[in-house]
Every structure is written in structure tokens, then in C-alpha cells.
């Protein structure tokens, strides 16, 4: 699964029988080397999102990786908004991203930063480059710059404005800043190498004129730094040691190194790239999630069918499950695609001992116990989680009329069917043995009521063991059952077709990704609060929707069913 994991088997000195397996990913190997060689004496990482959308599962990987490294090496972790491009950035996104990062458990303590706070230093850095003869003002248009840049096989051409004197460049850059220059009329370019085989090094634009209001600095600036210039400066100012980013920035690393070198930072940060996390048949990119929201296919950024962090939280995923998933995926330079089944495995693992197992009927049919006295009922004791006694037990009402799952009765049983059919005895979970005696049907032949008789000697917990039954079914006492809305989800993407249509590029939508049903649940579940989650016996894990639930009327989202096809690989 993670080819780049380095496994070192360390034999303990006192006891050579005990083996400690130390597993490091390739970034940790690099960090160890840097520390050993004295390149850095500490580890300082950061998470630098652009506040232009909601964070998703891929960002979660980056957050947990950066935070985890700082923790592991006793270093520091900065939270920094990379807000240098005012066009798409909004305060709404700043707030949602902070909430998500906090929820994931990455603690930035008092180190919350905004790149826009460094605009004065970035401006000074540009001036420094001009003074060193390493940057010049160009009047070429964006199209001309592209033309002059050349191609992968052809060197670029010298910018006709590259010969301007330092004084002239300083004056023209000052003019750009003063507001008299129109958007796009002039740019500041780094002077590197128009013939470089790396296109990013062909005198990249580092400052542009843009008369835009910034969400934090307002109209103070009308020139804004480009990402490749701004990012290394942000890292250097904050004392970041390892600037961890994704593979698409690998070709930009020479420029990153050029910027920190030319600006003569005493402790230049180092960029290390890893492969992005992708999920099979899942839309992860901000741009595409945004499209699903704008097209009204998803109901908001936190639609439980999406994989934004807020959607996963709403669905009932836990930070622990996301962390487990990210760790299983590993950190690598090789591009790979994970399966949604693995994420689902993680949430099942996390919740199975933590949450009470309750009874809920999703597809109800009536069961009448004909020999149970009419007008009577009793309270039965039910363990909340047989595998975790610390969750205690609860009392549940029981009586003559129950709701059971429609699939738990078959008038004519198929082979190996051990549930209710005429003449067969089964256990009612937490209650008694019952024997099926028959059923009632409507005019169309659909079963409407199942009949049975119970054996009062067989009460659960009474120690009865005179005979065994093969089937156990769950139920809810009908007179006190609560009707609740339950939502069952499938992938929002049509998995048969894949995410994108090959011809149109449109996203292939599964029209059946959300099914709304009415279920009967134990009365105690009516009091469940937003974000509380439960196992519904045999039906999966469910979480109370924070948006659509009302006091006493929870709406349940299915997080995941209990069945899994995912098998944890042996070496993990
Ligand atoms: P997207 O377009 O998918 O939303 P982005 O790279 O534009 O992603 P940024 O806000 O620029 O989003 O990213 C913040 C950090 O998260 C960056 O360091 C980026 O490399 C990292 N990141 C983004 N997507 C992923 C992913 N799928 N897997 C791992 N890290 C990611
Ligand atoms: Mg981006």
C-alpha cells in the first residue's frame, strides 16, 4: 500500500528477542537526515490553505501530516491562510476552514497567520530583488509574455524591457504600487533564465497590478504577489523548516529555492512534495465540489454525500476515523487512488465499540404475538454494546405488537433462511423466543401482519438454555415506537460510468444517491441530539443530522452500513 515506507527493525539492546518495528515515511527520512546533518535543529511545519472553498479529505491528509510531523519531532505547527489572491477568497471560507482544522484536532495554539499580513515584507523583498538587478518591470501583456516564454522544446526570448536600469525599475514598480497603472498593463518579473529547460524559471512574473479589494487589507494594495514568489517568503518569515506540499509544485521547487536564496534568508526553508490523496469515484477537488453545490445537485458544501470535511462531520465521521484512514493511505511520492471502502472501514472500526447498539426498523411490517396478554406490556433490560460493557444497559418496552423488518419474514422460506416462516422459532433480540404461526395479506397478496406465539420461559437473561434457535431478529414495540426520517446514501457519482463523462467532461451523477424513508425506532432515540451517532442493529451506523433535526424529531443519516468488502492488508 505504501511503497515508500521505510521499515527499520531495531533490536533492543537489553533483550534481543523483543523487536521494535520503526516505520518511517519518506518525508520523515528526509527530516531525520536534515536534523542529523545539522541543516535544521528543529521541525516547523505549516498548513497553508487558500480561503477559497471548503476543505476536503485531501486537505485533511495534509493537515494531519503537517501537524503530525510537528508533534512527532517536538516542533511547531503554523496555521496560515495563503490569502494573496483576493479574487476568490472570502471570510466565510476562513471561518469554515478554521472550524474544520480544529475539529480534526490540529492545534495551532497561538500561531494563526495570514499571508496578507506580510504584504509589506513582500513588497520590500521585490524592491530588494530590483536593487540586486534580479527583477525588472515589463510592459508586455499577458499574451505577449506567454509568447515570449517559448515552449518545452524552444527557448524563450529576452523580454524587450529586461534592459531597464535599476533606478528606472524602482520608479516603475513604485508607480505600479501607487495605483496609476491599469490592471495587466505592467508586471514585475524575476530575472532568471529565459533559456531554462524549466518553464517556471523563464523570468516568472512575481508581482501584478490588480485593483481589487482584499478581504483583510481592503484597498491598501493594488499590486499583489504571485504564489511562487509569496509562498517561500511566507515560509521564511515564519521560520518554517519543511514546507510540505503536493507533487504539482515539484517543478516549482527551483524557483522556491531561487527566491529564498536571492532574498538571503539566514535559515531558508526546504520544500518537499508528496502525492495528493485521491479517492476512486469520488469528487475531491474544490472546484468540482463547488460545481455540484452550484448546480443544486448537492445541498450545500456539507451535503453528507460529499467528502468535504464539513460533509464528513455532518455524515457522522469522526476525526479518529479520518486519521486512521490517512495513516492507512501512507505518504508517498507515487500517485495512488484510495477506495471509499477503506474510509468506511475506518469509521466502522472507530464506532463499533464506542456507540450503543439500538434497534430501529427501516422497512416495517407488524408482528403480533397472539398469546401475549392484550393490554399488557413490560420493560426489558438490553445491553448497550455487548462488546463494551462500560456503555451500560437500557430499558426497552415490549408487548404484544411489534415492528420487525419485512425481510425477516418469508411465507415460503428459501434455503438457509433461519428467520420467521410458518412453524419456525427465532429469538427476538433482548426478549423471548417466538414461533411463527402464519400471516395476513392484503388483496394484492402482500403480507401485512405476521403472527406468532411466544414462550414466556425463554426470556433473555433468564438463563434459559433448554433449546437453541438459529435466527435472531430485532424489533421495536409498536405502541411506543417513534417515527423518524432516515436517509440512506449511495455514491453521488455514477460508479458504472466513472466521475467524468469522456465526451462532455460533465460529472456523471447517480440519480439514486439519496433515499429518504420513515423508520420506527426505540423511544429513547427520539431524544438524540445533533451529531450523536448509534449503531442500528443490522442496519449500520447512523448520525443525527444537525441541519434538519428538530427537538424530539431527529433525522438520521446513515454513515455506513455494517457490511464491508474491504479487507485490511496484512502488512498494516
Ligand atoms: P483543491 O483544488 O483540491 O481544493 P488546492 O491545492 O487548490 O486543492 P489549497 O488550499 O491550495 O488547495 O491547498 C492547501 C494545502 O492542501 C496545500 O498544501 C495542498 O498541497 C494540500 N492539498 C490539496 N489537495 C490535496 C490532496 N488531495 N491531498 C493531499 N494534500 C492536498
Ligand atoms: Mg489552490
pLDDT by residue (tens digit) across 245-279? 999 999 999 999 999 999 999 999 999 999 999 99
126 in Cβ contact with 206 (< 8 Å): yes
- Per-residue pLDDT tens for 455-467? 999 999 999 999 9
Task: Check pocket membership of 252 for ligand 1, CB cut-off 6 A.
Answer: no
Ligand 1 pocket test: which of 25, 58, 82, 101 has the largest number of ligand atoms within 8 Å of its C-beta? 58
Q: How far is residue 3 from each of residues 28, 132, 276, measured CA to CA in Å?
A: 14, 45, 15
- Looking at residue 16, its pLDDT comes to 47
313 and 374 fall within a common domain:
no
Residue 238's SS3 state is: helix
Cα–Cα dist 544/530, whole Å: 5
53 and 136 fall within a common domain:
yes
What letter would DSSP give residue 420?
Answer: B
Task: Check pocket membership of 50 for ligand 1, CB cut-off 6 A.
Answer: yes
Which residue has the least CA distance to atom 22 on ligand 1? 59
Cα–Cα dist 433/394, whole Å: 20
468 and 511 fall within a common domain:
no
Ligand 1 pocket test: which of 27, 56, 62 has the largest number of ligand atoms within 8 Å of its C-beta? 62
- Per-residue pLDDT tens for 368-390? 999 999 999 999 999 999 999 99
- Per-residue pLDDT tens for 424-436? 999 999 999 999 9
Q: Where does a domain end: 410, 442, 474?
A: 474
pLDDT average, residue stretch 34-44: 98
* 43 burial type by CB count under 10 A (0-12 exposed, 13-18 middle, 19+ buried): buried
Ligand 1 pocket test: which of 65, 246, 310 has the largest number of ligand atoms within 8 Å of its C-beta? 246
- Looking at residue 571, its pLDDT comes to 56
66 in Cβ contact with 46 (< 8 Å): yes
- Looking at residue 14, its pLDDT comes to 43
31 in Cβ contact with 242 (< 8 Å): yes
pLDDT higher than 60, residue 1:
no
245 alpha carbon, closest ligand? 1
Q: How far is residue 230 from each of residues 126, 169, 201, 203, 476, measured CA to CA in Å?
A: 10, 20, 15, 15, 61
Task: Check pocket membership of 286 for ligand 1, CB cut-off 6 A.
Answer: yes
- Looking at residue 568, its pLDDT comes to 73
- Per-residue pLDDT tens for 284-315? 888 888 899 999 999 999 999 999 999 999 99
Phi first, then psi, for residue 49 (nearest 5°) are -75, 155
305 and 412 fall within a common domain:
no
Cα–Cα dist 123/224, whole Å: 9
Phi first, then psi, for residue 268 (nearest 5°) are -65, 135
From ligand 1's centre to the CA of 473, what distance in Å? 46
Domain presence at residue 444: yes
346 and 387 fall within a common domain:
no
Phi first, then psi, for residue 245 (nearest 5°) are -140, -175
Instruction: Kindly give the pairing relationship between strand 205-209 and strand 223-225.
Output: antiparallel
94 alpha carbon, closest ligand? 1
From ligand 1's centre to the CA of 60, what distance in Å? 9
- Looking at residue 125, its pLDDT comes to 98
Task: Check pocket membership of 245 for ligand 1, CB cut-off 6 A.
Answer: yes
234 and 142 fall within a common domain:
yes
Q: pLDDT category, 20, cuts 50, 70, 90?
A: low
468 and 489 fall within a common domain:
no
Ligand 1 pocket test: which of 27, 59, 235, 290 has the largest number of ligand atoms within 8 Å of its C-beta? 59
Task: Check pocket membership of 332 for ligand 1, CB cut-off 6 A.
Answer: no
Task: Check pocket membership of 285 for ligand 1, CB cut-off 6 A.
Answer: yes
419 and 469 fall within a common domain:
yes
Q: How far is residue 468 from each of residues 438, 473, 550, measured CA to CA in Å?
A: 21, 14, 43
Domain presence at residue 566: no
Domain presence at residue 12: no
231 alpha carbon, closest ligand? 1
Instruction: Kindly give the pairing relationship between strand 135-138 and strand 187-190.
Output: antiparallel
pLDDT average, residue stretch 21-33: 91
61 alpha carbon, closest ligand? 1
- Looking at residue 150, its pLDDT comes to 96
Farthest-apart Cα atoms in the chain, separation: 103
Query: Which set of grid coordinates corresponds to residue 454?
Result: 411466544
CA atoms within 13 A of residue 557's CA, in its CB half-sphere: 28
Among the atoms of ligand 1, which is closest to the Cα of residue 249?
A: 20
- For residue 347, give the H/E element and its range: helix 340-351
145 and 223 fall within a common domain:
yes
Domain range for residue 518? 286-355+484-560
413 and 371 fall within a common domain:
yes
CATH number for the domain that contains residue 372: 2.40.240.10
351 and 364 fall within a common domain:
no
Domain presence at residue 194: yes
Domain presence at residue 463: yes
243 and 160 fall within a common domain:
yes
Task: Check pocket membership of 59 for ligand 1, CB cut-off 6 A.
Answer: yes
Domain presence at residue 146: yes
Q: Where does a domain end: 474, 493, 523?
A: 474
Number of independent structural domains in the chain: 3
Range with lowest mean pLDDT among 10-19, 26-35, 240-249, 346-355: 10-19
Among the atoms of ligand 1, which is closest to the Cα of residue 62?
A: 30
Q: Where does a domain end: 250, 274, 298?
A: 274
Task: Check pocket membership of 346 for ligand 1, CB cut-off 6 A.
Answer: no
Helices (H), 10-83: 26-36, 57-72
Amino acid at each position: 500500500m505504501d511503497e515508500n515506507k521505510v521499515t527499520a527493525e531495531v533490536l533492543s539492546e537489553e533483550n534481543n528477542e523483543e523487536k521494535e518495528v520503526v516505520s518511517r515515511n519518506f518525508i520523515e527520512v528526509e527530516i531525520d537526515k536534515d536534523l542529523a546533518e545539522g541543516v535544521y535543529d528543529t521541525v516547523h511545519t505549516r498548513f497553508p490553505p487558500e480561503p477559497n472553498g471548503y476543505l476536503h479529505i485531501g486537505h485533511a491528509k495534509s493537515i494531519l501530516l503537517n501537524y503530525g510531523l510537528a508533534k512527532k519531532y517536538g516542533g511547531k505547527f503554523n496555521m496560515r491562510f495563503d490569502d494573496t489572491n483576493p479574487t476568490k477568497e472570502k471570510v466565510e471560507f476562513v471561518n469554515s476552514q478554521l472550524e474544520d482544522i480544529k475539529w480534526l484536532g490540529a492545534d495551532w495554539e497561538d500561531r494563526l497567520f495570514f499571508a496578507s499580513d506580510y504584504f509589506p515584507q513582500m513588497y520590500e523583498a521585490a524592491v530588494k530583488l530590483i536593487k540586486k538587478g534580479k527583477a525588472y518591470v515589463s510592459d508586455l501583456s499577458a499574451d505577449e509574455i506567454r509568447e515570449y516564454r517559448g515552449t518545452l522544446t524552444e527557448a524563450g526570448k529576452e523580454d524587450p524591457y529586461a534592459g531597464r536600469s535599476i533606478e528606472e525599475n524602482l520608479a516603475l514598480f513604485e508607480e505600479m504600487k501607487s495605483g496609476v497603472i491599469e490592471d495587466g498593463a505592467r508586471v514585475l518579473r524575476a530575472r532568471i533564465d529565459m533559456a531554462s529547460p524549466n518553464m517556471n524559471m523563464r523570468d516568472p512574473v512575481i508581482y501584478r497590478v490588480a485593483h481589487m479589494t482584499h478581504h483583510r487589507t481592503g484597498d491598501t494594495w493594488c499590486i499583489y504577489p504571485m504564489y511562487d514568489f509569496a509562498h517561500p517568503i511566507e515560509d521564511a518569515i515564519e521560520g518554517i523548516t519543511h514546507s510540505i506540499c503536493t507533487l504539482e509544485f515539484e517543478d516549482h521547487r527551483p524557483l522556491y529555492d531561487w527566491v529564498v536564496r536571492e532574498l538571503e534568508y539566514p535559515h531558508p526553508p526546504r520544500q518537499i512534495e508528496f502525492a495528493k490523496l485521491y479517492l476512486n469515484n469520488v469528487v475531491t477537488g474544490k472546484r468540482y465540489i463547488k460545481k455540484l453545490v452550484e448546480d443544486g445537485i448537492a445541498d450545500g458544501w456539507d451535503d453528507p454525500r460529499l467528502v468535504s470535511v464539513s460533509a464528513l462531520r455532518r455524515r457522522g465521521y469522526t476525526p479518529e476515523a479520518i486519521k486512521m484512514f490517512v495513516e492507512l493511505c501512507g505518504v508517498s511520492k507515487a500517485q495512488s487512488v484510495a477506495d471509499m471502502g477503506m474510509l468506511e472501514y475506518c469509521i466502522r472500526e472507530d464506532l463499533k465499540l464506542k456507540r450503543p447498539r439500538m434497534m430501529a426498523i427501516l422497512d416495517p411490517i407488524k408482528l403480533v404475538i397472539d398469546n401475549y396478554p392484550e393490554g399488557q406490556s413490560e420493560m426489558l433490560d438490553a445491553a448497550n454494546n455487548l462488546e463494551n460493557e462500560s456503555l451500560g444497559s437500557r430499558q426497552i418496552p415490549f408487548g404484544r405488537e411489534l415492528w420487525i423488518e419485512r425481510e425477516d419474514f418469508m411465507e415460503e422460506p428459501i434455503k438457509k433462511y433461519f428467520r420467521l416462516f410458518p412453524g419456525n422459532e427465532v429469538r427476538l433480540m433482548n426478549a423471548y423466543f417466538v414461533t411463527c404461526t402464519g400471516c395476513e395479506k392484503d388483496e394484492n397478496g402482500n403480507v401485512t401482519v405476521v403472527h406468532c406465539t411466544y414462550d414466556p420461559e425463554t426470556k433473555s437473561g433468564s438463563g434459559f438454555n433448554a433449546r437453541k434457535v438459529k435466527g435472531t431478529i430485532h424489533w421495536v414495540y409498536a405502541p411506543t415506537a417513534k417515527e423518524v426520517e432516515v436517509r440512506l446514501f449511495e455514491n453521488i457519482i455514477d460508479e458504472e460510468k466513472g466521475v467524468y463523462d469522456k465526451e462532455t467532461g460533465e460529472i456523471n451523477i447517480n440519480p439514486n444517491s439519496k433515499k429518504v424513508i420513515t423508520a420506527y425506532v426505540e423511544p429513547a432515540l427520539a431524544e438524540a441530539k445533533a451529531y450523536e451517532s448509534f449503531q442500528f442493529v443490522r442496519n449500520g451506523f447512523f448520525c443525527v443530522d444537525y441541519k434538519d433535526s428538530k427537538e424530539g424529531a431527529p433525522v438520521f443519516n446513515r454513515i455506513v452500513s455494517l457490511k464491508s468488502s474491504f479487507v485490511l492488508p496484512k502488512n498494516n
